[in-house]
Structure 1
Amino acid sequence: MRLDLTTLNLVLAIEQTRSITRGAEREHLALAAASKRLSDLESRLGVQLFERRARGVEPTEACRALVRHIRSLNASLHALESEVVEFARGIKGHLRLVANASAISECLPPDLVAFSQAHPQIRISLEDLTSAEVQTAVAEGRADVGVFTPPLLDSRLQTWPYRSGRLAVLVPQGHALGEREALPFVDLLDYDLIGLHAGASVQELMREQALTHGRTLKARLQVRGFDAIAQLVEAGLGVAVLPEGPARRLAQVFRVQVLRLDEPWAQRQYLLGVAAQERLPLVVQRFTDSLLQCAGTHPEQEPS
């Protein structure tokens, strides 16, 4: 049985969009051609891949099993391409990196500079996602490497300890809490909290910690970007918890004050993750080795 990539990617697109029409559009196929490809594939496999509904389609269990293999196949094809192009002239590889906002702001930039200087012919694309989204993107082959904060949610990853960071409190200058150098998280729960968008690791961590005190967050404002948080804190609209490194840099620009968050969970570990596989593509191996060496972690250390 011969399966072509166009048809397999069409199945993946339909499964993700829950629509044959939108899946066909995403794969640049005419609707009639896409429907025929899908019908032929179902006949060839002897199973129904989608249940037709009034508002779209729903994947069957057979489809979900097929989709897992398609994602694995796409990841393997990308790994193959990455390794082969090492022997080409010019750009020798393209590495897709995803990381959460804290990692991008707190620890990644100097390590990316070091890698780029040592490997100028390898192009890096970087995307900002939540820690949960980072893990899914790497596990499904949509990214090569991810940097995120625990917990580890996807067993399809192998990870290494990368760097550590610390959370701090940001308050407006002249705020009542500003007279203290450090404070526990419970003291913030009486104030409006300005945070990142839902799903961000810091936001989820604060929500969980509030629940342990039998409280709820007064999350009045949620925005994207630490600079936006600092501007809102400066304006007196609330207080915030964010990584200490970015917080101290922002305190040099905005009229805000940085306080130490006196909690054990304020100390955080960043993880470097790749899809679990017997052998990493050369570009990915070089990149992970470089980042772990920059962080002072032995690259040969067994991943978790």
Structure 2
Amino acid sequence: MRLDLTTLNLVLAIEQTRSITRGAQQEHLALAAASKRVSDLEARLGVQLFERRSRGVEPTEACRALVRHIRSLHASLHALESEVVEFARGIKGHLRIAANSGAIAECLPADLVAFSQGHPQIRISLEDLTSAEVQAAVAEGRADAGVFTAPLLDSRLQTWSYARGRLAVLVPKRHALAAQDRVRFADLLDYDLIGLHAGASAQEMMRQQAQALGRTLNARIQVRGFDAIAQLVEAGLGVAVLPGGPAERFSRVFDVKLLALDEDWAVREYCLGVLRQERLPAVLQRFVDSLCPPAPKA
């Protein structure tokens, strides 16, 4: 079944104005032609889109569902137009990258800057997702490349070891643990923990480690953003485990103490992943080589 954009725009106009007459006027169509378009569309879809009333029309649930898709289509068309127009301004490609919060905070920015400087004609978009969401986005084609923490959850991805990081701990300056330089995870479980939203890789790792110890993770507050975590720790609402890079920076800005997390699992590997294919597109291959340079040939 083919749906033309004129008819879809008409449906959207009628839904907004609650009137076939005003919708037709808005789309510069004769009333009879507009009525026929709506009737033909209802016949093709097999559903009623509008309930005719004495003072106009009321959209049905089927119409509301269709309108949601029409608005989504408009957004996609706008993005398509914007991206194509960029080629006239010298842009030669678009690279969609998804990454987890830790990678964005610790290691990815400097490499994106270097890649952008070397490839000024390639536009980069970056989306902040959990590691599981990053892998799904790459596997489903919503992102060209993803940076996430192990483990690999989707066999459709080809991966490279990109970088390593280490989790650290922030506690309030006057906290009972502040006299120490290192701390075991079990010691943190006696206190309220401030962490990222459910699904974040560090949060899931802590939950698993707490279960292994037969303990409960007292996740008192969960937020989005490491800076929010640091501010809440400073306020004395709990302690936090977060990537070492931002943790070290926050220890210089906020009234908090940085502690080393004395656990083997505190070391995290960041992976770069793309959809497995016989030959990568040239732009994507350059990005992979930039972040994970191939070993020199002997």
TM-score, L = length of structure 2 = 0.72
Matches within 5 A, 1:1-304: 33=41, 36=44, 90-293=90-293, 298=295
Partner of 1:15: none
SS in 2 for 1:97: strand
SS in 2 for 1:252: helix
Instruction: Report the Cα offset of residue 154 of structure 1.
Output: 0.7
Q: Which runs of 5+ in 1 are unaligned?
A: 7-29, 40-54, 57-77
1:228-249 Cα deviation digits (max 9, x unpaired): 0000000000000000110010
Task: Give yes or no for contact 1:292–1:299 (8 Å, CA) kept in 2.
Answer: no
SS in 2 for 1:220: strand
Instruction: Report the Cα offset of residue 298 of structure 1.
Output: 3.2
**Whole-angstrom distance in 2 between the partners of 1:140 and 1:182:** 41
SS in 2 for 1:120: coil
Q: Which amino acid aligns with 2:178?
A: G
Instruction: Report the Cα offset of residue 275 of structure 1.
Output: 0.5
1:190–1:138 CA distance, 2 compared to 1 (3 A)? same
1:13-35 Cα deviation digits (max 9, x unpaired): xxxxxxxxxxxxxxxxx897498
Q: Which amino acid aligns with 1:216?
A: T
**Whole-angstrom distance in 1 between the partners of 2:3 and 2:157:** 25
Q: Which has the larger radius of gyration?
A: 2
SS in 1 for 2:292: helix
1:48-103 Cα deviation digits (max 9, x unpaired): xxxxxxx99xxxxxxxxxxxxxxxxxxxxx9xxx9xx9x98710100000000000
Instruction: Report the Cα offset of residue 36 of structure 1.
Output: 3.2
**Whole-angstrom distance in 1 between the partners of 2:243 and 2:229:** 12
SS in 1 for 2:199: coil
1:219-269 Cα deviation digits (max 9, x unpaired): 010000000000000000000000011001011111011100000000000
SS in 2 for 1:166: strand
1:299–1:201 CA distance, 2 compared to 1 (3 A)? farther
Instruction: Report the Cα offset of residue 4 of structure 1.
Output: 7.8
The alignment yields a C-alpha RMSD, in angstroms, of 3.2
Q: Which runs of 5+ in 2 are unaligned?
A: 5-37, 48-60, 63-79
1:95–1:188 CA distance, 2 compared to 1 (3 A)? same
**Whole-angstrom distance in 1 between the partners of 2:291 and 2:200:** 23
Partner of 1:65: none
Partner of 1:24: none
**Whole-angstrom distance in 1 between the partners of 2:237 and 2:177:** 14
**Whole-angstrom distance in 2 between the partners of 1:32 and 1:96:** 39
SS in 1 for 2:190: coil
**Whole-angstrom distance in 1 between the partners of 2:39 and 2:257:** 58
Instruction: Report the Cα offset of residue 129 of structure 1.
Output: 0.2
1:109-167 Cα deviation digits (max 9, x unpaired): 10000000000000000000000000000000000000000111111101000000000
**Whole-angstrom distance in 2 between the partners of 1:125 and 1:102:** 17
Any runs of at least 4 consecutive aligned residues in structure 1 with deviations exceeding 6 A, and if so which?
Answer: 3-6
Number of equivalences: 235
1:89–1:261 CA distance, 2 compared to 1 (3 A)? same
Task: Give yes or no for contact 1:288–1:299 (8 Å, CA) kept in 2.
Answer: no
**Whole-angstrom distance in 2 between the partners of 1:152 and 1:158:** 10
1:265–1:173 CA distance, 2 compared to 1 (3 A)? same
SS in 1 for 2:219: coil
**Whole-angstrom distance in 1 between the partners of 2:164 and 2:3:** 41
Q: Which amino acid aligns with 1:242?
A: L
SS in 1 for 2:252: coil
**Whole-angstrom distance in 2 between the partners of 1:35 and 1:184:** 67
Instruction: Report the Cα offset of residue 277 of structure 1.
Output: 0.6
